[in-house]
Amino acid sequence: MTISRRRMLGVSAAAVTAASMSSLARAASKRVVVIGGGAAGATVARYLAKDSKGDIDVVLVEASERYTTCFFSNWYLGGFRTMDQITHDYKGLESGYGIRVVHALAQSVDAASQTVGLSDGSTIEYDRLVAAPGIDFRYDLIDGYDESMADNEMPHAYKAGPQTALLRKQLEAMDDGGVFLMAPPPNPYRCPPGPYERASTVAHYLKTHKPKSKILIVDPKDKHSKQALFREAWETHYPGMVEWLPGKEVGALKAVRNGEIVTEKASFKGQVLNPIPAQKAGKIAQIAGLTDDSGWCPIKDASSFESALVPNVHVLGDACINGAMPKSAFSANSQAKVVSQAVRKALTGSRQFEPRFRNTCWSLGAEQDSFKVGADYRAEGDKVVKVDGFISSTGEESSVRVKTAREAEGWYQAITSDMFS
């Protein structure tokens, strides 16, 4: 493809096509390929390119041209954000830092030749590979459920985008008096408070549009993240609307069928169904040999997140097993800065500071009523360990909750700009 034709098609000169990649000369003697342009991968690519100042050729392989954040997707469901406000592109990474963004699917990794095979048949060499593919879903554990059903009929909406929009449409079409039936996933999974924040923002929508409706949560777990805080929010803002049933009463999610979720111990009817499957690392991690029997990716050193199974590959974000950090965008972004330094050290001999990690997860219990949990962490061998933590208290003044909600909004602005601009 010639430059002029590329221009005609409206593709920026910096955005090279996957097909042209294999014939492209390296932009520097060392090359890092990053698979996945989400919270983890976009941040690693940005910090690597920014800090190496041209010494490292950074290639970001991302399947989609635009990234809708799972974080704040519950805000979209509740009507607090538009889809546009939670969707980002990669233009800033291309034009601001010279990162070569390739929109293709990474389909194979050859650790011996240090190459990644792409969906268009081309291959890209790497000196270091960063794998940040996020999660995949265990559809095999739920009779009657698969990817096509999730995309078209019964969205889990646990990868944000079209499924999130479909779920919102289904809520809009639901009768006043209908039941929104959610089955959260078993541990470990992306964003431990996510399903319960979703119940809260959906409750906000229902309270304001369909007040006779109910939310039923059939959980395989006996306890969940920020339980007392969510319970308090539901009782205060949506009395009688949200019912949560624990694992000891319902057991694991087994099947879905028209209007029904079937668990080990019972079956439940609803008008809008939101089964969220058990999870594992994104598919390419398994193909690349980065996963163990758990379906997640072990690391051998928490100060570099280098894979325990494949040399010269670093794996971070939701896909990895790191020890104490939860699977969150905040965690992924924090890990990415450590990985970026570790990769630069390995390739250019630059200095790495002592790794420090941080996470905070804010949840919206109701409009202007937000609470948070968080911690600081450090690297210890192959594990990230917690140093200290905090959690909001029940019974806090509403002014504190309003301030916490503002903090969450500020965090969203800051973290998305730290990833994409």
| Residues engaged in binding ligand FAD (CB under 6 A) | 35-41, 61-64, 67, 70-71, 73-74, 105-106, 132-134, 158, 190-191, 194, 198, 282, 284, 317-319, 327-330, 332, 361-362
In one letter, which amino acid is 187? Answer: N
In the complex, minimum distance from the CB of residue 194 to ligand FAD, in angstroms, rounded to a whole number: 4
Smaller CB distance to ligand FAD: residue 260 or 418? 418
Name the pairing type of β-strands 179-183 and 135-137. Answer: unpaired
Smaller CB distance to ligand FAD: residue 145 or 262? 145
Query: Which residues of 194-286 form beta strands (DSSP E)?
Result: 214-218, 242-245, 253-257, 260-263, 267-269, 272-275, 279-281
Helix (H) or strand (E) holding 403: helix 398-420
In the complex, minimum distance from the CB of residue 373 to ligand FAD, in angstroms, rounded to a whole number: 11
Beta carbons of 109 and 18 less than 8 angstroms apart: no
Smaller CB distance to ligand FAD: residue 55 or 407? 407
In the complex, minimum distance from the CB of residue 265 to ligand FAD, in angstroms, rounded to a whole number: 26
Q: Which residue's Cβ lies closest to ligand FAD?
A: 38
Smaller CB distance to ligand FAD: residue 262 or 297? 297
Which tokens belong to 81? 């954000």
Question: Using CA of residue 370, residue 331, residue 285, residue 114, what is the dihedral sign?
Answer: positive
In the complex, minimum distance from the CB of residue 348 to ligand FAD, in angstroms, rounded to a whole number: 24
Which tokens belong to 360? 């905070």
Smaller CB distance to ligand FAD: residue 30 or 327? 327
Smaller CB distance to ligand FAD: residue 174 or 332? 332
Closest CA to 86 of 169, 159, 192: 159
* Helix, strand or coil, per DSSP, at residue 108: strand
In the complex, minimum distance from the CB of residue 287 to ligand FAD, in angstroms, rounded to a whole number: 8
In the complex, minimum distance from the CB of residue 41 to ligand FAD, in angstroms, rounded to a whole number: 5
Smaller CB distance to ligand FAD: residue 203 or 329? 329
Beta carbons of 387 and 357 less than 8 angstroms apart: no
Smaller CB distance to ligand FAD: residue 4 or 413? 413
Question: DSSP string spanning 111-134?
Answer: TTTTEEEETTS-EEE-SEEEE---
Query: Which residues of 38-78 form beta strands (DSSP E)?
Result: 56-61, 66-68
* Helix, strand or coil, per DSSP, at residue 6: helix
The CA-CA-CA angle for residues 17, 127, 357, to 5°, reads 100
In the complex, minimum distance from the CB of residue 7 to ligand FAD, in angstroms, rounded to a whole number: 25
In the complex, minimum distance from the CB of residue 154 to ligand FAD, in angstroms, rounded to a whole number: 16
Going by C-beta distance under 8 Å and a sequence separation of 6 or more, which residues neighbour residue 12? 91, 94, 95
